[in-house]
Every structure is written in structure tokens, then in C-alpha cells.
Amino acid sequence: MTLSEASAHSAITVPERVIPVPSSLSPEAQAALSRAAVPAFAYPPLDDAAAWRQLVSAANEGLLAQLEMLAGASPDSVPSPTDTIRAGNADVFVITPPNADREDSRILLEVHGGGLIVGAGKCCAAMGAFTAARLGLRTWAVDYRMPPDHPYPAGVDDCLAAYRALLELRSPGEIIVSGISAGANLAAALILRARDEGLPAPACAILLTPQADLTESGDSFVTNLGIDINLTQSLKPAGLLYAAGTDLRDPYVSPLFADFTRGFPPALLATGTRDLLLSSTVQLHQALRAAGREADLHVLEAMPHGFLPGTPEDQHLVGQIRDFIDMHATAKAPPSPAAG
């Protein structure tokens, strides 16, 4: 049997079909899931830096418009950064939401998503503000450097520098490292780097629909393609741009392939049954559990990549994240002014 014959033999041909929105979801989630999918786009050649800059700029403009629209819908609950500090080569936005307990010394180190190329500047500040408001915690949002001008390891270096700066103000047990999608990749990578450089682990990690495998070896990259309305195409080209020639299986590039047998904190992972990164999330959870690490996995019914903010399903997940943080991170003293 030839390789092509073997591949054909092991594949399943699925007939064209219509996939309805499940009636089991809340009315809000059904409405959100019924909207048009985010349109796919063409990636530039890897060596065309100018075209990548154009793509990133346009994507940031679109993302910022969406974030401003969301903030306008709830202006009283979404805070603005109260300070900006410098950590290594990156800015860090310090955000104190109105619903934060002033006596709670815990701080969330937030790493934004965006496919490893999008989400800088004002977008980073806005996404950090939403996370801070949702969790009711003081937040440091890391505006890490990204391709095409700053590929790996710049982003991991910046996140690690922010973590080092936070360790000067807080004990490890007061620090939560969090990220979504590409941010969850970098959140896991910074914890691994911190461990390997002799730094203590944070109290816990929140890894939401993590882009943990840039090789995209998981099943859902095929089975959920065309079903996920938020992530409608492969992220592989952006991953290759980010890696800049580094092996995609390097554990700091794709944390799925890391050794988790030591120095990794309790982690909460979440995904959805329609998430293109469902497999990456499940595989990372399995790797953590196989290594003896404490890891909780939440798989939300019919949720696409990034979930559906504002729906009861999303609010329930936020409650689960808060409970997980309360279980693992301890507030020890009133915060110092320098930490916001």
C-alpha cells in the first residue's frame, strides 16, 4: 500500500450537511452563534515583512473598533489603565477595576491573544481592562513585542520580564498568570521559562483555548474548520512567522511538547466543542495530567474559539475561573502603591 493509499484509507469522507445551533444553549448564545462567521483572509508570504505589517495594522484597527463597541455597551464597568510601567522591552498596563477589593493583594498577569501577531498597544490595554473587570482583580497586561519585527523569543522574553518585575512586589502565591489563545501559549511558555531559570511558579495559571501546538497536529484543526465562527482558518502561517525558523515543537514555542513533571502550577483550561483549538486544549490538559499536575478542563457546549462574551454560558465560565483563583491564590497584605 502506498502512502497516498494509506492516507486515503485512514481518512473519513463527510457528506455536506447543515449544522444547526443547539436549542440547549441560552437565547443569548443561540443569537450570538447564529451571526456570520469572521471572514478568512490571505496570509502574505513569510518573507514579505511590509505586507505582514499591513495585515497586522488592519487587524488591530478592526479589533480596537470591536473592543470600543463592547466598552461602549458597558462604560461603567470597563476600567482604563491607571498606570504604565516598563518591564524589559515591553510596556505593562496596570489596571484596577472598580469591582476590585482594595484589600486583595492578588494580581493577574494577563497575556493577550491575537494569533501571536495582533493585539498590541491600545488593543492590549482594552483587552486587559475587560479581563480585569470580568475577574475583579488588579491586572498587569503585558504589551509584548510581536512579529514581523520581533519574532520569537521576544514575546516570551517580555512576558518573563513582566513576571520578574511582579515578583519584586508580590509573593508567588499572590500572582495568577492568565492568557487566551496565543496569550495562553505565552502564559504557559513564560511559566516554563521561569521554572527553567530558577524562578518560583505563580499560584495558578488560567489557560483559555490555548494555542499550545503551532504544528496544528490536533484533530479539531480539521473537524472544526468551518464550524468555528470566530476562528475560520489555520493560524499556521502566523505561527511560522512567529517562530522565525525555531522548531515548532520547541516547548517554549509550542508548550504542548514541554516537560510538565516539575514546576508547573495548578491550571484551569477551557475550550468549546466548536473551537478550532479544542484539540490543543484537550491535549495540553492530558499532558499536564499525565505529568501529575493539577489541571481542570472546562469544555463549553457549542462554544467557538474565544467563547461568546456576555452570554450566560460565558458568565458561568467566569464564575468557574474566579472560584479556581480563590482556591489557589492567596491575598496576604494590602497592595503597595507601585503595584496599582
- Is 57 catalytic? The answer is no
Q: What is the pLDDT of residue 99?
A: 86
More reliable by pLDDT, 338 or 211 = 211
Q: Whole-angstrom Cα distance, residue 255 to residue 21?
A: 33
- Is 9 catalytic? The answer is no
For residue range 15-54, what is the model confidence (pLDDT) as tens digits? Answer: 888 999 999 999 999 999 999 999 999 999 999 999 999 9
pLDDT tier, 2 (very low <50, low <70, confident <90, very high otherwise): very low
Q: Which of the residues 112, 157, 178, 181 is marked catalytic?
A: 181
Using CA atoms, how far residue 77 sits from 23, 71, 80, 137, 193, in Å, is: 31, 8, 10, 13, 34
Q: What is the greatest pairwise CA distance in the chain? A: 69
Residue 247 and residue 253 in contact, taking contact as beta carbons nearer than 8 Å: yes
- Is 91 catalytic? The answer is no
Whether residue 1 has pLDDT greater than 70: no
Whether residue 216 has pLDDT greater than 60: yes
Q: What is the pLDDT of residue 9?
A: 61
Q: What is the pLDDT of residue 8?
A: 53
> What does CATH list as the number for 46-339?
3.40.50.1820
Q: Which of the residues 150, 285, 298, 305 is marked catalytic?
A: 305
Q: Which of the residues 91, 157, 275, 314 is marked catalytic?
A: 275
Q: Which residue has the cell 495594522?
A: 57
The distance of Cα 277 from the centroid of its chain, to the nearest Å, equals 11
For residue range 52-109, what is the model confidence (pLDDT) as tens digits? Answer: 999 999 999 999 998 887 766 555 556 677 789 999 999 999 999 988 898 899 999 9
* pTM of the full structure: 0.93
